[in-house]
Amino acid sequence: MSVLSGKELRIVGFLCNWCSYGGADTAGTARAAQPTDLRIIRVPCSGRVNPLFVLKALMNGADGVLVSGCHPRDCHYSAGNFYARRRLEILKEFLPIVGIDPARFEYTWVSASEGQRWKEVVTSFTERIHRLGPAPKWADVTPRYDMPFSAPENRLEPIRPLGCGANPSLPELRESIKKALAEGLEGVLGWKAGFDPLHVEPVFMQTPEEVDHLVWGPFNVHNLANFLPQYKGRRIGVVVKGCDSKGVIELLAEKLIDKDDVTIFGMGCNGTVDLNRVLEKLPEGASVEDVKCSGNTIRVTAGGQEYTVSMQDAAQDKCRQCTNPNAVLSDVFVGPRVTEPMPPADGRSGALRFLDELSLEERMGFWKGQMERCISCHACRSACPMCVCRDHCVSDARDPAWLTREDDVVQKLFFQLIHAQHLAGRCTGCGECQRACPMGIPVFALKQQFGRKIKQIFGYGAGMDVNGVPPLLAYQVEEPNIKEHELS
Ligand code: FES
């Protein structure tokens, strides 16, 4: 066939052993002429195809990737291809955000008797990849370093009033915690003052004296749900903001913690700050002597000078669009509830709006530039409440070795893709990955891309229902929002 005129491209095919591999065999036995670009990897079932296989191939030089399994309802393990369909559809929707043309990836179904269909599928896909040409190489892409969405004038308007004044209900919260400790809780996770007045740090309070040092305010940035799995089996409590409570709910939904063990204390949240936005107002290296908050104004005294920052400027991006300022689930809710705003019509973050406007090549350049700054500290992983297998993280595995230890943008971006893929349908949007990044890399956008596609296709938002099931851990025989991708 003419597409082979001269040059093959690198196309990787993951074929289910029972159907599509048999279909390819049938085509071969019938001596059906086919393109020879495809390199076939036989897998037991399409359900065995980890989306990371596809991502790894595309990140490392494949010009196209094809996955083929048994037709729906024909899987030899009954439901493998139903799970695969959801995962691969979401993956296809995700690829453009990192600059990969989604047309370079396809999944389809071919049975063992469909030699003719296999021929048509492989021919059609190969022709498509030849039309697209060789995949752009990361090494050839021009990096870009600009992040206009984080400039003060481009920050999104908050959808509700943000504030930073003292919460008059804090004494009542402390009393509730002391009472619970007296009644048998082993300890309660909260926040206490940190090394300077701008910082707070997580604390596991076990005595009334420690509870007296509990703080609440715009600097309580950490999501304490992150610590809960390590206390599994012990009766403890946790103080939550609205976004943190979604992390607790998702941990409960995934049975990673037990509700009988955890008492949830909540108060209404008026927003938290992005500390970098406060620090950028101060002279570099100035030591902070005092911080006073009232209304929506933060007054910082540093180096003997007072600096004023408004919550409007300093709030984290996630707080600007937050629709859950109160704990979604709590055993003890103290003080009045904050009025919950309507979801914004366009719920995209500034980073997603920016990325949406770029071409695929510009997006590759953006991530290349961002990953050049990554120092591989993996703070994003450590801060994530839903990254629960961090002691056995596949990115650290040596057998199989998913990543090298090279100081290389592809390796670093692939680490982020592993993280985002593992959080697909599970990320509650707390943004801790990005907050914890010492280099200010907008890695949260990758999780947001998965999140919005899962919302569009499955109508699911993580962290809202303890009985919820993440969509990629479930399936429907008929998927109303997933269309078959015709290749023949
Ligand atoms: Fe073929 Fe499951 S056995 S898709």
pLDDT per residue over 203-236, tens digit each?
Answer: 999 999 999 999 999 999 999 999 999 999 999 9
d(CA 437, CA 199): 16
Q: How many CB atoms lie within 10 A of CB 248?
A: 28
d(CA 38, CA 11): 5
Phi then psi for residue 407, to 5 deg, are -85, 80
pLDDT of residue 388: 87
Using CA atoms in the order 181, 272, 321, 482, what is the torsion angle rounded to 10 degrees?
-60
Distance 73 CA to ligand 1 centre (A): 9
Distance 382 CA to ligand 1 centre (A): 36
Q: Answer whether 15 contacts ligand 1 (Cβ < 6 A).
A: no
* Per-residue pLDDT tens over the stretch 458-484: 999 999 999 999 999 999 999 999 998
Short-list 158, 462, 450, CA closest to 318: 158
Q: How confident is the model at residue 2 (pLDDT cuts 50, 70, 90)?
A: very low
Exposure letters 257-285 (e unless 16+ CB within 10 A, then b)? beeebbbbbbbbbbbbbbbebbbeebeee
pLDDT of residue 3: 46
- The amino acid sitting at 345 is A
Q: Pick 400 or 95 by higher pLDDT.
A: 95
- Domains of the chain, by residue range, sit at 11-138, 140-147+352-461, 170-333
Q: Answer whether 80 contacts ligand 1 (Cβ < 6 A).
A: yes
Distance 430 CA to ligand 1 centre (A): 36
- The amino acid sitting at 317 is D
Mutational test site, ligand 1, from 16, 21, 73, 114, max ligand atoms within 8 Å of CB: 16
Could you tell me the two tokens for 311?
Answer: 């919550």
Q: How confident is the model at residue 445 (pLDDT cuts 50, 70, 90)?
A: very high
d(CA 272, CA 275): 9
Q: Answer whether 71 contacts ligand 1 (Cβ < 6 A).
A: no
d(CA 423, CA 29): 43
pLDDT of residue 112: 97
Q: Answer whether 19 contacts ligand 1 (Cβ < 6 A).
A: yes
Q: Answer whether 138 contacts ligand 1 (Cβ < 6 A).
A: no
pLDDT of residue 229: 95
Mutational test site, ligand 1, from 48, 49, 76, 477, max ligand atoms within 8 Å of CB: 76
Q: Which atom of ligand 1 is nearest to the CA of 75?
A: 2
Q: Which atom of ligand 1 is nearest to the CA of 109?
A: 4
Distance 112 CA to ligand 1 centre (A): 11
Distance 129 CA to ligand 1 centre (A): 25
Q: How confident is the model at residue 7 (pLDDT cuts 50, 70, 90)?
A: confident
Mutational test site, ligand 1, from 43, 66, 77, 108, max ligand atoms within 8 Å of CB: 77
d(CA 113, CA 388): 43
Q: Answer whether 9 contacts ligand 1 (Cβ < 6 A).
A: no
What mean pLDDT comes out for the span 85-109? 98
Classify 81 in phi/psi space as left (phi over 0), alpha (psi -120 to 50) or beta: alpha
Q: Which atom of ligand 1 is nearest to the CA of 19?
A: 1
Mutational test site, ligand 1, from 25, 49, 70, max ligand atoms within 8 Å of CB: 70
Q: Which atom of ligand 1 is nearest to the CA of 46?
A: 4
Percent of the chain scored above 90 by pLDDT?
91
> DSSP per residue over 48-117, as a string?
G--HHHHHHHHHTT-SEEEEEEPPTT--TTSSHHHHHHHHHHHHHHHGGGGT--GGGEEEEE--TT-HHH
Mutational test site, ligand 1, from 14, 19, 43, max ligand atoms within 8 Å of CB: 19
Phi then psi for residue 310, to 5 deg, are -95, 150
d(CA 315, CA 325): 13
* Helix spans in 236-292 (H): 242-253, 275-279
CA angle 366, 369, 373 (to 5 degrees): 135
Whether the ω angle into residue 325 lies within 30 degrees of 0, i.e. cis, is no
Percent of the chain scored above 70 by pLDDT?
99
Distance 77 CA to ligand 1 centre (A): 6
**What percent of the residues of the chain are helix, what percent strand, and what percent coil, each to the nearest 5?**
40, 15, 45
**Residue 443: which H helix or E strand, with range?**
none
Which residues lie below 8 Å from residue 332, measured CB to CB, with a gap of 6+? 176, 180, 263, 264, 265, 266
pLDDT of residue 1: 44
Q: Answer whether 218 contacts ligand 1 (Cβ < 6 A).
A: no
Exposure letters 174-203 (e unless 16+ CB within 10 A, then b)? bebbbebbeeebebbbbbeeeeebbebebb
d(CA 246, CA 265): 13
Distance 71 CA to ligand 1 centre (A): 8
* Helix spans in 254-294 (H): 275-279
* Per-residue pLDDT tens over the stretch 300-328: 999 999 999 999 999 999 999 999 999 99
Q: Are 123 and 36 in contact (CB under 8 A)?
A: no
Distance 19 CA to ligand 1 centre (A): 7
Choosing among 2.60.40, 1.10.10, 2.40.50, 3.40.50, the CATH entry for 11-138 is 3.40.50
Could you tell me the two tokens for 108?
Answer: 């389809």
Q: Answer whether 425 contacts ligand 1 (Cβ < 6 A).
A: no
Q: Are 54 and 11 in contact (CB under 8 A)?
A: no
Short-list 44, 46, 67, CA closest to 55: 67
Which residues lie below 8 Å from residue 402, measured CB to CB, with a gap of 6+? 52, 56, 394, 395, 414, 418
Q: Answer whether 444 contacts ligand 1 (Cβ < 6 A).
A: no
Return the half-sphere exposure (C-beta side, CA atoms, 13 A cut-off) of residue 226. Answer: 22
Name the pTM for this structure: 0.93
Q: Answer whether 442 contacts ligand 1 (Cβ < 6 A).
A: no
Q: How many CB atoms lie within 10 A of CB 368?
A: 22
pLDDT of residue 304: 92
Mutational test site, ligand 1, from 43, 45, 71, max ligand atoms within 8 Å of CB: 45
